[in-house]
């Protein structure tokens, strides 16, 4: 069965609540495509107004982060049940910015993946190599380590519903996109790894996105590749251009 494409915006730390609602309204006619899953991953404070603003559209809302406990004395954190209750469907886990700035390691990310799944959230699990790792020729070794650690003890049926985003760190926010062949090579490698860790059916079902300076100019070529099932989009998700990526 063909995998359904999924285009997700990662708004990062952009958009006040009122700006968020304006952007949703602007994008409404531009992202209206029944053949694609469209997701806006938004800052925590924008979740409630964005869920309200996308009602009746094809857009689903994702969170950019959450904490692994359900409730309690974790000042400043947001839990999975809170996200679910607010209408959130997806959550980004393991973005390179959280791995780097907030020191989230694979052991913690594995807990997040398991907690998200147990709570009914679909993880968008990010992985990707640095420029130095690519130049050393260890891209796939690094990604295998990330995926194996992040998915430790996660069942095949749960992996089938997962979204994995391959995001080379050197391509995020830099304007440097991986070539479609480079992106396809790694996405195919991730699918082969899932087949090795689980089975062919799981590997065929899991959706793998590319992320890293994807935009209206390069989306079509990237999305035409057989193992690229969508995109995780940063900069270009904050403007009308996102509609062109969805329709690419």
Chain contacts with ligand PEP (rule: CB under 6 A): 10, 167, 172-173, 211-214, 232-236
Between residues 202 and 218, which has the closer beta carbon with respect to ligand PEP?
Answer: 218
212: left (phi over 0), alpha (psi -120 to 50) or beta: left
Is residue 204 part of the annotated active site? The answer reads no
Of 64, 97, 167, 241, which residue is the catalytic one?
A: 167
Cβ burial of 221 (10 Å; 0-12, 13-18, 19+) is middle
Could you tell me the end-to-end alpha-carbon distance of the chain, in angstroms, rounded to an integer?
21
Return the closest-CA partner of residue 172 out of 132, 230, 130, 227. Answer: 130
Between residues 123 and 234, which has the closer beta carbon with respect to ligand PEP?
Answer: 234
Between residues 120 and 173, which has the closer beta carbon with respect to ligand PEP?
Answer: 173
Between residues 99 and 202, which has the closer beta carbon with respect to ligand PEP?
Answer: 99
Contact 207, 230 (CB under 8 A): yes
In the complex, minimum distance from the CB of residue 211 to ligand PEP, in angstroms, rounded to a whole number: 4
Q: Which residue is nearest to ligand PEP (CB)?
A: 234
Return the closest-CA partner of residue 123 out of 163, 67, 157, 70. Answer: 163
In the complex, minimum distance from the CB of residue 101 to ligand PEP, in angstroms, rounded to a whole number: 12
Contact 12, 234 (CB under 8 A): yes
Q: What is the DSSP letter of 172?
A: T
In the complex, minimum distance from the CB of residue 124 to ligand PEP, in angstroms, rounded to a whole number: 9
Is residue 95 part of the annotated active site? The answer reads yes
In the complex, minimum distance from the CB of residue 189 to ligand PEP, in angstroms, rounded to a whole number: 19
Q: Which residues are catalytic?
A: 95, 167
């Amino acid at each position: 069965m063909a995998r359904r494409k999924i285009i997700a915006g990662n708004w990062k730390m952009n958009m006040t609540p009122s700006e968020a609602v304006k952007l949703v309204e602007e994008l409404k006619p531009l992202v209206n495509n029944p053949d694609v899953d469209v997701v806006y991953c938004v800052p925590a404070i924008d979740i409630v107004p964005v869920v309200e603003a996308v009602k009746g559209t094809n857009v689903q809302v994702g969170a950019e982060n959450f904490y692994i406990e359900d409730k309690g004395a974790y000042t400043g954190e947001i839990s999975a049940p809170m996200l679910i209750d607010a209408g959130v469907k997806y959550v980004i886990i393991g973005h390179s910015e959280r791995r780097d700035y907030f020191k989230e390691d694979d052991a913690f990310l594995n807990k997040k993946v398991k907690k998200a799944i147990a709570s009914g959230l679909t993880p968008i699990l990010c992985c990707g190599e640095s420029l130095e790792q690519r130049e050393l020729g260890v891209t796939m070794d690094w990604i295998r380590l990330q995926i194996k650690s992040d998915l430790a003890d996660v069942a095949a049926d749960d992996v089938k519903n997962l979204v994995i985003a391959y995001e080379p760190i050197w391509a995020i926010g830099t304007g440097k996109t991986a070539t479609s062949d480079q992106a396809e090579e790694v996405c195919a490698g991730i699918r082969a790894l899932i087949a090795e860790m689980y089975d062919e059916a799981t590997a065929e079902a899991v959706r793998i996105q590319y992320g890293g300076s994807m935009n209206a100019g390069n989306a079509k070529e990237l999305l035409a590749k057989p193992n690229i099932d969508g995109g995780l989009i940063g900069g270009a998700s904050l403007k009308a251009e996102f509609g062109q990526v969805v329709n690419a």
